[in-house]
Structure 1
Amino acid sequence: MEYSFLARGHENITSHHKSTFEITTDKTLTLKGDCIIGVCSNTILNDLPSTLKEKIKTDNTKIELILETDNAHDSIIGFGCSKLTLNHPTDMVCRKSDFTCNRTLMINSNKAARDLDKDLINDLKKGCNLKVTIKI
């Protein structure tokens, strides 16, 4: 099962955060948002298909998140959890920890913002389009 959506890079992407990365529908980004790697997302957590959400809300479901620009890509592995609500109106956060809140898409991720492919981040700093694919 997979689902794809689009977001965009932004000149203020720094990708320095050590435990999370985030994709948001917000159109702007300050330098304080060091976990944000994508803005202007055309999808929120509530938009995910119900069958996908059910799988994500199941403990230990393996989730692969694929991030792609025209010139680069990266793949992140994390896990679902029965504590996830998947109902934040603007943000999707992938976490290396097992912390959950309504912004969390997956936990126990193998990568945070600072671990992502540098070519991908450089594309995003230029404002490139970002394709995000969630695979279960």
Structure 2
Amino acid sequence: MVLKPAMRFEIQFSGHENIRSNHQKTIEITKESHLTPSGDCIIGVNATTSCAELPLSLKKKLQNPNSKVTLSIKVGSYEFNVEGRGHENLSLTHLEDIVIRKSDFVCPRTLAVKCDKASDLIPREMILLLQNPKTKGIFTIIVD
């Protein structure tokens, strides 16, 4: 059996004063620059990449239900990690957003399903930093 190396992809994003991060089922980053307080799963705006823009090789790995997906969110000296799974029905075609979900719901914005954490568990110190529009973060996708 040959083990294939994990694939890694980084997306940069910025904070926004309306970041709340208290959704219990999802985490989202978006390329959009505007955010209303009702977007309570969004942790970052001005993302450098959307689902549609991910490399094809990464999309293929994410579309394998046996793929283990590790997501790392780094802000300042803080790091928050989430474990999830790929899904054969991921289309990964949304032009603005990336969403990771605790459920197995799939739509064009979905990157990973069956994740072990959502935005309500992100440390509040990280969220306070992300409420400053000058704060930069890194969203790293690792697929085994």
TM-score range (shorter-chain normalised) is over 0.9
Partner of 1:132: 139
What letter is aligned with 2:141? Answer: I
Structure 1 segment 1-136 matched on structure 2, within 5 A: 1-127=7-133, 128-136=135-143
Structure 1 stretches lacking a partner, 5+ long: none
In the alignment of these two chains, the number of paired residues is 136
Separation in 1, partners of 2:45, 2:88: 27
For the residue of structure 1 that corresponds to 2:71, the secondary structure is strand
- In 1, Cα distance between the equivalents of 2:62 and 2:41? 22
User: Counterpart of 1:120 in structure 2: which amino acid?
Assistant: M
How far 1:134 moved relative to its partner?
0.4
> Structure 1 segments of 4 or more deviating over 3 A?
none
Taking the aligned partners of 2:38 and 2:76, their CA distance within structure 1 comes to 27
Q: Which runs of 5+ in 2 are unaligned?
A: 1-6
Q: Deviations over 1:76-97 (max 9, x none)?
A: 1111000100000101110000
Q: TM-score, normalised by structure 2?
A: 0.91
TM-score, normalisation: structure 1: 0.96
**Distance apart, 1:117 and its partner CA:** 2.2
> Is the partner of 1:34 in helix, strand or coil?
coil
**RMSD, aligned CA:** 0.9
Q: Secondary structure at the match of 2:28?
A: strand
The structure having more radius of gyration, on CA atoms, is 2
